[in-house]
Structure 1
């Protein structure tokens, strides 16, 4: 199996993992990539980076033209650092800043713009052209990589997703009420699913995986097994 996986890695294989906030995309995708010898690509980090820089520079998030100018004037870069994806905007590292609640609350406003998505999709495809990747996001299987060798769509109950995000914030020393966080996640779901361009939805040929009652290890193993079944 090792040789088979290495061969497919050389063939530039893409595994697409989509799903709503808190469904386990990031951790699962990162661990699947490690197990298969692929590279992990967090596409959401790019949209967060644009949002973060726009907020810092006082750009109107509803002004698509202004955001387009910002993107063209900024050098966004992702750098793999072990299990972490570090994010840079020009000479400034913004890895932690893009995970702020302000960015999280506003990223959907930025990502809904056509010019923003076009620029980010182009960058994502350029990055993934260099090897085999496990790519996670919200429109990977439907828009960015419609020909991915394997498409996974993760789902989970709102309560489970809220609990996961709450634990993540608590580990960072951020205190938040469960119900308030739940409302934010539901609002994010509505924005992502309701946008006119590249909405969050399951690709017709994607495999749906309910992670509500699964551990991260179980999620990872399920996806690895599905990939291995394709390449054996």
Structure 2
């Protein structure tokens, strides 16, 4: 069977990663969570005092230290999904915290950060047979991807999903704070100068506000199989 590149873009906390992970499993494809890569850079910046509480970034220092930020993914035998590592340290749980979420969009808007991450992403996907999710996969990273999907949902629904996810992990969660963060990230992601969040012209739009996870999975698998069997 032929291999294709599948690009899944969309707003924060809209279920992209859950859909992409499951689809990759179903197809036997490689899955890459590009949002985790930007979260990892944000975590590095926080740990090394390169970003302030009000999101002012020490651009010179971060640029100089980018070569020291090694991001990798390793399969978790228990979950069957890839975990994110920063310089060989597992940071999968830490990068999902609301503390890191507050700093992701400013970091992701920096041109030299995006350039470094896009280069890594293209290298990962050059052999096809990959499902990649993020903000600019179909528009910038893989503009020639055979299947492009843009996922969205209302801010309130996305905040509730994020709240529930953190609660399940036993992590601190405040719904109002999460909703505020979701709306702020939407604004910053959609209005940044480099690779702003927007659907590719040939992307299929999916509003999953009122869909269950199984319904989303079935919808996405159907779209992928239609292309693979064509």
Report deviation, 1:204: 0.5
Alpha-carbon separation, structure 1, partners of 2:80 and 2:88: 22
Q: Output the CA distance in 2 between the equivalents of 1:34 and 1:53.
A: 30
Residue of structure 2 equivalent to 1:152: 149
Q: How does 1:61-72 map to 2 (within 5 A)?
A: 62-72=57-67
Relative to structure 1, the CA distance from residue 24 to residue 134 in structure 2 (aligned partners, 3 Å threshold; closer, same or farther) is same
Contact 2:23 2:217 (C-alpha < 8 Å) held by counterparts: yes
Partner of 1:166: 163
Q: Does 1:39 align with 2:23?
A: no
- Conserved? CA contact 2:150–2:199, under 8 Å: yes
TM-score by length of 1: 0.91
Deviates more, 1:58-67 or 1:47-56: 58-67
Aligned length: 223
State which of 205, 221, 224 in structure 1 corresponds to 2:221: 224
Q: Distance in 2 between matches of 1:110 and 1:66?
A: 13
Flag the 1:178–1:74 CA change in 2: closer, same or farther, 3 A: closer
CA distance in 1, matches of 2:87, 2:208: 37
Out of 172, 180, 189, the residue aligned to residue 177 of structure 2 is 180
Work out the CA distance in 2 between the residues paired with 1:107 and 1:121. 16
Residues 6-17 of structure 1: matches in 2 within 5 Å? 7-9=1-3, 13-17=4-8
For 1:131 and 1:155, the matched residues in 2 are separated by: 25
* Partner of residue 138, structure 1: 135
1:121, distance to aligned residue in structure 2 (A)? 0.3
Match of 1:19 in 2: 10
| CA distance in 1: counterparts of 2:199 and 2:80, whole angstroms | 27
Structure 1 residues 215, 126: closer, same or farther in 2, change over 3 A? same
Question: Secondary structure of the equivalent of 2:2?
Answer: helix
Output the CA distance in 1 between the equivalents of 2:57 and 2:46: 11
Hey, what's the Cα distance between the residues in 2 that align with 1:63 and 1:181? 26
Matched, 1:74 2:69: yes
Cα distance in 2, alignment partners of residues 177 and 90 from structure 1? 30
Could you tell me which runs of 5 or more consecutive residues in structure 1 were left unpaired when the two chains were aligned.
1-6
Q: Distance in 1 between matches of 2:116 and 2:146?
A: 24
Q: Is the 8 A contact 2:75 2:82 kept in 1?
A: yes
Gaps of 5+ in 2: none
Cα distance in 2 between the residues matched to 1:100 and 1:175: 8
Is 1:107 matched up with 2:98? no
